[in-house]
Amino acid sequence: MEGDVKKHVKKRYGEIAKTGKTCCPSCSCGPSTRDVAFQIGYSEEDLRSVPDISNMGLGCGNPVALASLKVGETVLDLGSGGGIDVFLAAKKVGLKGKVIGVDMTGEMVKRAMDTASEYGYGNVEFRLGEIENLPIEDASVDVVISNCVINLSPDKPRVFREVYRVLKPGGRIMISDLVTEGELPEEVRKSFEAWAGCIAGALEKSKYLRSIAKAGFRDVMIVSESTYDIDVSEKIRGKITSVQVEGYKL
């Protein structure tokens, strides 16, 4: 099933990149991308400071707001999509820093690259690749961020090992993601649309944190969490939580 999940997710997000629309059975066409951005933690100032086209109404948090980024740091964004978090991070690290976005969907990478070129971002880069096999050198980044993407991977332990590999000693993570409170119904777990909608692949909260710690990270903790009810069905309402997780590589 792993290969089929990846194919479906890749196809779905390729379509979103081309159309700019997130409409699908698990992604309601109701709220605007701007409204969704406000709901998941972006501020008016955040949205004013980045190109409108980079906000695609995707994600479940605002990792840049909690990552305490510093001028000159190198940041990696897993599953960078339209680039909103890359562009927000680019302003934090300045021209002496660098932000790299990795996405497995060629259409998303092209969209983000075109936006970076059009708006003159000189300290960002977008690379095509899978988060289970990052096209990034060992011990080369200071901070890894991600926004509701790791739950899309069928092999999360491998993702966390890759993140550990590319971080410098002393590096840190700030990850926004969805986790579950209890088990999801089997029909949800097997639904490709629920996978693409960031629901079916969500791990139980304690298991998610253990997976990060098992990869080698220390001081793993949830710094913020809230119930996530955007575009979820009644059968799983109250079982999905948005978490913001930090951890450190010694």
Q: SS3 letters for the chain?
A: CHHHHHHHHHHHHHHHHHHCCCCECCECCCCCHHHHHHHHCCCHHHHHCCCHHHCCCCCCCCHHHHCCCCCCCEEEEECCCCCHHHHHHHHHHCCCCEEEEEECCHHHHHHHHHHHHHCCCCCEEEEECECCECCCCCCCEEEEEEECCHHHCCCHHHHHHHHHHHEEEEEEEEEEEEEECCCCCHHHHCCHHHHHCCCCCCCEHHHHHHHHHHCCCEEEEEEEEEECCCCCCHHHCCCEEEEEEEEECC
13 or 222, higher pLDDT: 222
The 10s digit of each residue's pLDDT in 107-126 is 999 999 999 999 999 999 99
**pLDDT above 80 (res 6):** no
**pLDDT above 80 (res 52):** yes
172 or 199, higher pLDDT: 172
The 10s digit of each residue's pLDDT in 54-99 is 999 899 999 999 999 999 999 999 999 999 999 999 999 999 999 9
**pLDDT above 60 (res 27):** no
The per-residue pLDDT for 189 is 65
**pLDDT above 50 (res 28):** no
Domain 2-248 is classified in which CATH homologous superfamily? Vaccinia Virus protein VP39 (3.40.50.150)
The per-residue pLDDT for 243 is 96
The per-residue pLDDT for 21 is 60
The 10s digit of each residue's pLDDT in 147-176 is 999 999 989 999 999 999 999 999 999 999
The per-residue pLDDT for 9 is 77
Using 50, 70 and 90 to split pLDDT, how confident is the model at 39? Answer: very high
**pLDDT above 70 (res 209):** yes
